[in-house]
Amino acid sequence: MARGEGSYLYDTEERRYVDFCAGIATCCLGHCHPAVVQALTEQAGKLMHCSNLYGIPGQEKLAKLIVEDIIGIPGQVFFANSGAESNDGIIKVARRFGHRRPAADGSPRYEVITFNKSFHGRTLGSMAATGQRKIQVEFDPLLVGFKYVDFNDMAALRAAISPQTCGIMLEAVQGEGGVNPVQPEFLRGVAQLCKEHDLLLMVDEVQCGFCRCGATMGWKAVCPEVQPDLVSCAKGIGGGFPMGCFWVSNRAIDGQGTPLSSIMGAGSHGSTFGGTPIAVATSYAVVSELVQGAYHERAQRLGEYVKNTVEGWHIPCVTGVRGLGLLRGVGLDKDKFRNPLPEGMTPAGYVNNLCREAGLLACPAGPDTLRLIPALNIPAETLDEGLSILLGVLEMA
């Protein structure tokens, strides 16, 4: 690829593609959004990096915006560079919490329960948290302290809690694992179990956050009343610029009123590049545009449109459209294609390749799901242009 313009990408031969991938759900305002380009280039001429040894006003400004207008619950923010790093951060907070709030026998709690088909990243910590064996193969031994249970299975989750458990970690919509939304009653049940067992509710909003799923955060699109303790963010937060953060609630963890956010004091965690002046200036431009433009409402509306349109085609190989907002997965049935699948190819990989040849960029999510994650500001006519390419591909596949 050579350049981008809104929801179009152009390759080195100047071939144009409709972009329903958006840098894997990162370029939430499309390519080269003028306000984002302006913020980035202006800051590049002022100060790119100076380290967190000094106060950075842009960090404070962005943290306030995220706490007040995106998360909406009092807390503090730590800036990182990626989703995996942000998840490592919340795993560290959970482990420290397990030391401060030990098991009945006085031993520190350290175990985090995550879910099958989850995806949390590729570092040693976030890979161990990921409930997909294919991500971990031949990297054993894994970091200890994770247990995986089936998503949306309350009985299995309840049975998995042990005296060592200190947290439960989930995505509101499993992105990489096939676009599987959490059921509202399950999310409410998880929050309840966390209260009963003194566990941290850890939400990975790396893919489903920042207005993508029809609310400012993915969990709020499912159960706005649920209050997580820890939230990890990346992808959309930077609009394509590498950026991440994690949020820690100010809620009291004991009878003395100790805020959860206070247990990671200065020196407990760090990042040389986390929250550089250029990253926070760029991210501020992205997030303030998302908030001011109420892009979560647009994502909700366009997402319903995508679902209704694709399901309305009644194509035999399409099993349905899952997801929330503009995080959508088209389910594919390998036995209902017109043509035999090429050797060694998954249904999603096959359809994704055909789309690309036809001028549409999408993204597989697991073997049977084609993920549609366009920019949240994609014009209605560009969305229709991409959908008609998809229709042509699915009719012939």
Ligand X SMILES: *Cc1c(COP(=O)(O)O)cnc(C)c1O
Using CB under 6 A, list all residues that contact ligand X. Answer: 82-84, 87, 119-121, 171, 175-176, 204, 206-207, 234-235
Q: Which is nearer to ligand X, 242 or 293 (CB)?
A: 242
- Tell me the residue nearest to ligand X as measured from the CB: 83
C-beta of 19 vs 204, nearer to ligand X: 204
The conformation of residue 116, written as its DSSP 8-state character, comes to B
Q: Nearer Cβ to ligand X, position 235 or 328?
A: 235
**Closest CB 88 distance from ligand X, rounded Å:** 9
Compute the distance between CA of residue 300 and CA of residue 253 in angstroms, rounded to an integer.
35
Task: Output 175 or 303, the one with its CB closest to ligand X.
Answer: 175
Q: Give the separation between CA 230 and CA 216, rounded to whole angstroms.
A: 16
Name which of 286 and 389 has its Cβ closer to ligand X. Answer: 286
Closest distance of CB 324 from ligand X, Å: 14
DSSP string spanning 285-300? Answer: HHHHHHHHTTHHHHHH
Facing residues of 320 across strands? 331
Smallest distance, ligand X to C-beta of residue 110, A = 21
Minimum separation from the CB atom of position 234 to ligand X (A): 5
Shortest Å, Cβ 199 to ligand X? 20
- Rounded to the nearest whole angstrom, what is the least distance from the CB of residue 8 to ligand X in the complex? 23
Q: What is the DSSP code string of 341-380?
A: PPTT--HHHHHHHHHHHHTEE-EE-STTEEEE---TT--H
The dihedral over CA atoms of 354, 360, 362, 364, expressed in degrees to the nearest 10, equals 0
Q: Which is nearer to ligand X, 352 or 382 (CB)?
A: 352
Contacts by residues 12-16 (CB-CB < 8 Å, ≥ 24 positions apart): 15/359, 16/359
User: Rounded to whole angstroms, how far apart are CA atoms 239 and 95?
Assistant: 31
